[in-house]
Chain A
Amino acid sequence: MSGRFVRLAEQGRPTVKLIVDGVPIEALQGDTLMVALLTNGPTLRQSEFDPGSRAGFCLMGACQDCWVWTRSGERLRACSNEVREGLDIITQQPEAIWPLRG
């Protein structure tokens, strides 16, 4: 399967380029990260509690099943953050970096 989500309308928007796990993908301006990732592939992230893949669930910021990370370690809810040109996303939880004072 190429993409999980299927675009039905609003396809005339300008494209935005971003990187997911090192691979460049194209999305449309106004897409959420979730739509950008799931129109390009079947899953969003790896479950931390079993070998399964996840693709989100509620799309309204309640279930937290769509977390992805920026390369700098910032956690983003894919359903409620829009794509930005050049965004560098990773779909596996990075090593925890505890913010130190200063």
Chain B
Amino acid sequence: MAAARIVIVGAGPAGVRCAQTLVAAGFKPILIDENRRDGGQIYRRQPEGFTRTYATLYGTEADKAKDLHDSFDRLRAQIDYRPDTLVWNLTPGQLCCVSQGRHTTVDYDALILCTGATDRLMPIEGWQLGGTYSLGGAQIALKAQAVSIGHRVVFMGSGPLLYLVASQYLKAGANVAAVLDTSPLGKRIKALPKLMARPGLLFTGLKLLAQLYRAKIPVHLGIAPVQVLGDPISGVSGVRVRSASGATLTVDCDAVALGYHLRPETQLADLAGCRLRFDEASGQWLLDLDEEGRTCVSGVYAAGDGAKIRGADAAEHAGRLVAMALLSDLQQPVDVAQVAEQRQALKVMDAFRLGLAQAFPWPAAQAKALPDEAIVCRCEMISAGELRRTVSEKGACEVNRAKAFSRVGMGRCQGRYCSQAGAEVIAAAAGVNVQEVGRQRGQAPVKPLSMLTQEVAP
């Protein structure tokens, strides 16, 4: 079986550790990645010619980033690495790819999806204005390009990334206007026992917070976002929120970084027929996997944040573990102690994940409170009111049906930034739980393709 064609999609922490484990077992996997360079989003490498050090770029995670990049550099000759390549569809045993405008197919016997995550967004009135960015996007601007998204930046939403990116901006010399968190302090205190699963990481988080306070950056907890202010031509000019005490607070700024932790990229797994399940803790649909990363479809595996949002450290463990699951399925020898070690590490990270979900909850109630005129779909400017009317006038209480009537989820982002909030809007209008309105089905192409795409003979 040494000739098994193994394809890994995604060259972030999960994909690289998976490839490394397979190479050590004598295999030569194909590693397909949409990015130009390895590292995924979290350990994204800066372009050639940039000179910032690992310590400057990755802070407390510098050693991990360097280790992952070094591992990849050593692996490169031993794997079939295909950067700048999007997998846009799949059928059993075959991937459809596009690279630089050319379409090709890649056959596989085993497929490991390490497709990562994007920011999870809740709309706010005015979020379509130029100068509103996803929190992860704000971080990429700094890490990969050494720029700030604005002259005066507000960080709004919830989750650990909110404090991480705000403190990275501060350290890099950007002007941070405020950090506005929807999660109240009480939730965090209640989550402390679970967060103690990773005391080091909890301490790092507290240090970031202390840095912000020391720099006298206004940090408000338990806020309710009201509006991104500005005009359609010149973009953002401020944000308005309701503070925990009920007062209206307006902050002047020309950029907003917005995000509520992460959502997994599950489109390819969905197209492969993998089952998803509703995760109560985070309030979103995740892949239904066994403890080692097997999906319900034989030969299809998943690891990293695309499988379960547990962060980069967990992704490295899950990448190794899923590779060993595949090796075991291919009747190859597997180091039992190694498997146990990865599983134990992931158990700790699972406990921490539940702590984060409790400390920084997804603000589902905001969807219900969105004014009718607020835009839900940024791509095509479709409002909450229009989406609600598909429920009240057309009886569309299921997300795919509501999408067909309203086009929310049908635009060029294909629901990545509106579909979860859209489901909350539909559920609230229909008076049911969000899991009852279902989830948006994955559709090929998973990202827009150009009409100029050419087919190349394999």
Contact = CB atoms under 8 A, between A and B. Distances in A.
Interface of A: 1, 4-13, 29-32, 35, 38-39, 42-44, 47, 49-65, 67, 74-75, 79-80, 82, 96, 98-99
Nearest to A61: B34
Interface residue SS majority, chain A: loop
Interface string B97-119: 00000000000000000000011
* Residue of B46, B174, B233 with most chain A CB atoms under a 10 A cut-off: B233
Given A42-B234, A43-B235, A64-B413, A59 B52 contact: no
B371 interface: no
Interface string B120-148: 00000000111111101110111011111
B147 A7 contact: yes
A75 B450 contact: yes
* Residue of A8, A42, A82, A98 with most chain B CB atoms under a 10 A cut-off: A8
A7 B146 contact: yes
Contacts of A12: 51
A62 B119 CA distance: 10
A25 to B, nearest CB: 15
Contact of A57 (B134, B173, B450): B134
A13 B49 contact: yes
A64 B172 contact: no
A79 B149 CA distance: 13
Interface of B: 34-36, 41, 46-52, 118-119, 128-134, 136-138, 140-142, 144-151, 172-174, 232-235, 254-255, 378-381, 412-413, 416-417, 447-448, 450-452
Contacts of B145: 5, 10, 31-32, 35
A58 to B, nearest CB: 5
29 contacts: A4-B130, A4-B235, A5-B141, A5-B145, A6-B150, A7-B147, A8-B174, A9-B146, A10-B51, A30-B48, A31-B145, A49-B380, A52-B129, A57-B134, A57-B417, A58-B137, A58-B417, A59-B134, A59-B141, A60-B118, A62-B417, A63-B416, A64-B412, A64-B447, A65-B378, A65-B412, A75-B450, A79-B140, A99-B452
* Residue of B118, B146, B174, B412 with most chain A CB atoms under a 10 A cut-off: B146
B146 A53 contact: no
A10 B165 CA distance: 19
Contacts of A13: 49-50
B130 A42 contact: yes
Given A10-B146, A61-B34, A65-B378, 4 more contacts: A35-B141, A56-B133, A63-B134, A65-B413
A56 B413 CA distance: 12
Nearest to A6: B148
Contacts of B146: 7-11
Nearest to B132: A57
* Residue of B36, B130, B136, B149 with most chain A CB atoms under a 10 A cut-off: B130
A62 B381 contact: no
Given A63-B416, A65-B413, A30 B119 contact: no
A37 to B, nearest CB: 12
A50 B254 CA distance: 21
Given A60-B41, A64-B447, A55 B148 contact: no
A5 B417 contact: no
Contacts of A82: 47
B216 to A, nearest CB: 20
Nearest to B135: A58
A9 B416 CA distance: 31
B172 A9 contact: yes
A74 B151 contact: no
Given A55-B235, A58-B417, A4 B137 contact: no
Given A8-B146, A50-B381, A58 B133 contact: yes
Pick the 8 closest A-B CB pairs, nearest first.
Answer: A52-B232, A55-B130, A59-B137, A64-B412, A30-B47, A10-B146, A49-B381, A59-B140
B451 to A, nearest CB: 7
Nearest to A64: B412
A58 B136 contact: yes
Given A31-B145, A50-B381, A61-B447, A4 B150 contact: yes
